[in-house]
Amino acid sequence: MPENDTQLMDGEKLKSVLERAVTDSESRIVFISAFITKVAVDWLAKRAPNNVDVHLNCRLQPFDIISGSTHISALITALENGWSVSCLHSLHAKIYAIDDRNIYAGSANLTSNGLKIYGVGNLEASVKVPPSPENLAFIENVCSSATKMSVHSLQKMQDYVDQKEVHISSYNWPDHILDEEEGIWSQDFFWAKPDGDKNSAEHIHDMEVLGLQDFDAADTSIRDRVRGARCVQWLTETLENEDGQELYFGRLTQALHSDLKDDPKPYRTNVKSLVQNLLSYCEAYLNDEIEISRPNYSQRIRLRK
């Protein structure tokens, strides 16, 4: 039966489609997946032709390694196969592109559960999308924004997790482990205020940003997670580079619109919402570190000394 380009596929169907496309690949394979495991890399290695360039992009946050969602051994195997491995900490997408002709996007990670390589697996949904110039440019933007990994850098990550596993609360690596170059994305920001609808998709996204299941954790734990969020780190660094370490709301919105790596960039009204949500979290959890006031009608955001 011919493949229906508009039909939703579960993980098992996607695996079957990818097996054919990968085996017939002639030039390039790009797999973008938040999580990557050893079983899935071994599955891919059995099918990818030797003369094809293979690029893997994953999220690779410390907790992804601790939880077993991504296997360092899988990424080292990929590099030993001559493939390219990169990480993008804001990554949540799952995209499979073969020869710039076949592109599949959906919820399935490059894992055993995502593609139902073994066992029951997860209930996933993916679909084939057209290889339009816009879609190809999106994939290239993800790849160019990611940080390339080496066997040495991956081994440093594993050593760091093995030594300090119980102490890791940040979802970013220390600079001596990984010097990130990916910039800031709208995905890194809060999509709702902390007192918003707990069942909304925006709230679920924010829990992922913080690495929490819900707000039932102790306030001190949430505070540490908020402080370690990439959007808060961006705010702190932006204020540190300003005279008086302060900015008014309008200037802060302009700075974020300029710094966002999204292509195309969000509308300014959407950027305003990102800033407003960010400041709401700062007021709720970081009031002793970041001062938010209204001296002249507009909000002033300033680092406390």
Interval 93-129: pLDDT, tens: 999 999 999 999 999 999 999 999 988 888 999 999 9
Is 176 a domain residue? no
* Letter string b/e over residues 51-80, b meaning 16 or more CB atoms within 10 A of that residue's CB: eeebbbbbbbbbbbbeeebbbbebbbbbbe
Residue that terminates a domain, selected from 166, 198, 220? 166
What's the start-to-end Cα distance of the chain, in Å?
Answer: 67
- Does 159 lie in the same domain as 38? yes
pLDDT reported for residue 260 = 87
Last residue of a domain, one of 135, 166, 197: 166
106 in the same domain as 53: yes
Give me the long-range contacts of 274-277 (CB less than 8 A, separation at least 24). Answer: 274/186, 274/189, 274/190, 274/191, 274/231, 275/249, 276/193, 277/189, 277/190, 277/191, 277/192, 277/193
The mean pLDDT value for 145-161 works out to: 90
Last residue of a domain, one of 136, 166, 196: 166
| Percent of the chain residues past pLDDT 90, beyond the cut | 59
More confident residue, 165 or 222: 222
Q: Is residue 1 part of a domain?
A: no
Per-residue pLDDT at 271 = 93
16 burial level (CB within 10 Å; 0-12, 13-18, 19+): middle
Cβ contacts of 188 within 8 Å, gap of 6 or more: 89, 90, 209, 229, 230, 231, 234
Closest by CA to 9, choosing from 86, 118, 99, 121, is 121
103 and 240 in a single domain? The answer is no
- Asked whether residue 3 is assigned to any structural domain, the reply reads no
Please tell me the pTM assigned to this model: 0.68
Say what the pLDDT of residue 215 is: 61
pLDDT computed for residue 2 by the predictor: 47
Specify if 178 maps to a domain: no
Question: For residue 160, what are the domain limits?
Answer: 11-166
The answer to whether residues 202 and 246 belong to one domain is yes
**Spatial distance between the Cα atoms of 205 and 219, rounded to a whole number of angstroms:** 19
pLDDT at 103: 97
Q: How many structural domains does the chain have?
A: 2
Give mean pLDDT, residues 178-201. 81
Instruction: Flag whether 125 is in a domain.
Output: yes
Answer yes or no: is pLDDT of 179 > 70: no
Checking if the pLDDT of 274 tops 50, the result is yes
Residue 179 phi, psi (nearest 5): -90, 100
Ranges 2-16, 161-175, 234-248, 279-293: which has the least confidence: 161-175
For the ranges 116-120, 132-136, 180-184, the maximum mean pLDDT occurs at 132-136
218 and 91 within one domain: no
pLDDT score at 80: 95
User: Is the confidence at residue 218, as pLDDT, over 70?
Assistant: no
Name which residue leads in pLDDT, 102 or 220.
102
Q: Assess whether pLDDT exceeds 60 at residue 203.
A: yes
DSSP E strand stretches across 93-140: 94-98, 102-106, 126-129
Q: Give yes or no: residues 189 and 162 share one domain.
A: no
Mark whether 149 and 240 lie in a shared domain.
no
211 or 226, greater pLDDT: 226
